[in-house]
Amino acid sequence: MIESDVFVQALQDMGVNFFTGVPDSILGGIIAELMNRRIYTPAVREDEAVGMAAGAYMAGKTPAVLMQNSGLGTSLNTLISLNMIYKQPCILIVSWRGQGGKDAPEHLVMGEVMPQLLETVKIPHRTLTEKTAVEDFRWVAQTFMTQQMPVALFITKGVVKGLHP
Amino acid sequence: MRPEQGTLISRAQAMAALLELLTDQPVIICNGFPSREAHKIADRPTHFYMIGSMGNAPAIALGVALAKPNKQVITFDGDGNVLMGMGTLATVGALKPKNFIHVVFDNEVYGTTGNQPTISNVVPLEKVAKAAGYVNVERVLDRDDLVYEFKAMLKQDGPSMLLIKVNEFVEDAGRVLHDPPEITRRFMKAIQG
Ligand SMILES: Cc1ncc(C[n+]2csc(CCOP(=O)(O)OP(=O)(O)O)c2C)c(N)n1
Ligand SMILES: [Mg+2]
């Protein structure tokens, strides 16, 4: 399991310096760490978070947005009609609820279709694993810099240490 | 026609008066006719014309304001847009960025899509903003008042909301001519430093 502070440090080392989002339990440890470091700006909806991140990007920051995958539904229009057409990159840290069909009912549909959904709208994505973490982060940084569009890193349950082990 | 309608100015007239008071401040303008009119009245590199992402103009402006605390950031918004992204009033009210001015052109309709009524005739958006924690809020009906209040807001710590009641008149403005990636590039360059 990756410690939350190691995860946050890796993002900061990559140059990420604007963090916003809406919580999910899988992201609890990461958000707590961001709050400890006083670098987290909470949003009330994922589309708002994506909009704030876009503004911060245009003002010179490297932004990341944390969200549950249900928030991809909420923010889809902003991702495609703002980020993608205006060429505004953003790192999406997305918790993968409903993966493998084992979760509460509200997560099952998005949990199953999420990778195809992002492929359909052409948002590059990758799933973080402990073994490949260094490459995963390198890929995120490279995609962010070269593609000028949102890039998603999926976080599955138990890969990054949460609040309740 | 609403009772006050005959006496109200148009959004374009209100916008022209505001743009005369602005120089190099970043201005994020909501989608629909407001962006097209701003583009026609004064096309400055410090303007970010939003064409999609309805409801997100103040969120984008908030991101700029937080990243550039020494720059005053303005957003030009519409009543339909504010209603769609109403949660952002709460985020702004809670974070209280001092350098944030939210102008709402309230024509009580989704003007861009054919004047379907919104509900801003019965929901006073400036009161929602005040309740959410905006520091200064004003509702104005005519040109003299909007100039007076906007000048005051430019000198005060925010967040501030200036809600301007406007009529439904639409300026013959045409679409925003720049490509979206070009809007991003020139806006980024213009607000650097
Ligand atoms: C998510 C979404 N829903 C609907 C639309 C269609 N639409 C474009 S502009 C607009 C009206 C905006 O209303 P308002 O903010 O009051 O500005 P006005 O047109 O009155 O100046 C609507 C509904 C859209 N662009 N995006
Ligand atoms: Mg309107």
B21-61 pLDDT tens trace: 999 999 999 999 999 999 999 999 999 999 999 999 999 99
CATH of the domain at B168: 3.40.50.970
Ligand 1 atom with minimal separation from the A77 CA? 1
Give the Cβ contact number of residue B23 at 10 Å: 8
Tokens 């909007």 sit on residue = B146
Measured in Å, residue A26 CA sits from the centre of ligand 2 at 40
Please write the tens of the pLDDT for every residue from B153-186: 999 999 999 999 999 999 999 999 999 999 999 9
Does the beta carbon of B160 sit less than 6 angstroms from any atom of ligand 1?
Answer: no
Contact A56 B56 (CB under 8 A): no
Contact B192 A60 (CB under 8 A): yes
Per-residue model confidence (pLDDT) at position B84:
98
Contact A47 B184 (CB under 8 A): no
How much is the average pLDDT of B74-85? Answer: 98
Per-residue model confidence (pLDDT) at position B193:
82
Ligand 1 atom with minimal separation from the B115 CA? 20
Query: Does A118 reside within a domain?
Result: yes
Does the beta carbon of B109 sit less than 6 angstroms from any atom of ligand 1?
Answer: yes
Cis bond before residue A42 (omega within 30° of 0): no
Ligand 1 atom with minimal separation from the B120 CA? 16
**CA count, 13 A, side-chain hemisphere, B21:** 18
Output the residue whose Cα is nearest ligand 1's atom 1.
B54
Query: Does A164 reside within a domain?
Result: no
Chain A residues with CB inside 8 Å of B95's CB? Answer: 41
Measured in Å, residue A133 CA sits from the centre of ligand 1 at 42
Query: Does A27 reside within a domain?
Result: yes
Backbone angles phi, psi at B11, to 5 degrees: -60, -40
- pLDDT exceeds cutoff 70 at B138: yes
Q: Give the pTM.
A: 0.97
Domain count, chain B: 1
Does the beta carbon of B31 sit less than 6 angstroms from any atom of ligand 1?
Answer: yes
Per-residue model confidence (pLDDT) at position B48:
98
Contact A77 B54 (CB under 8 A): yes
Query: Does A28 reside within a domain?
Result: yes
Tokens for A132, please give them.
């490949």
B31 by DSSP, 3-state: which? coil
Query: Does A160 reside within a domain?
Result: no
Domain count, chain A: 1
- Report the percentage of chain B scoring pLDDT > 70: 97
Query: Does A82 reside within a domain?
Result: yes
- Asked if the ipTM is above 0.90, the reply is yes
Domain that holds residue B22: 3-190
Per-residue model confidence (pLDDT) at position A108:
96
Domain that holds residue A104: 4-155
Per-residue model confidence (pLDDT) at position A162:
85
| Angstroms from A100 CA to nearest CA on chain B | 32
Phi-psi region of A18 (alpha: psi -120 to 50; beta: other; left: phi over 0): beta
| Angstroms from A75 CA to nearest CA on chain B | 9
Per-residue model confidence (pLDDT) at position B6:
59
Per-residue model confidence (pLDDT) at position B2:
55
Consecutive H or E run containing A63? strand A63-68
CATH of the domain at A68: 3.40.50.970
Residue-by-residue pLDDT tens, chain A, 165 positions: 999 999 999 999 999 999 999 999 999 999 999 999 999 999 999 999 999 999 999 999 999 999 999 999 999 999 999 999 999 999 999 999 999 999 999 999 999 999 999 999 999 999 999 999 999 999 999 999 999 999 999 999 999 998 875
The span from the CA of A68 to the CA of A154, in Å, is 9
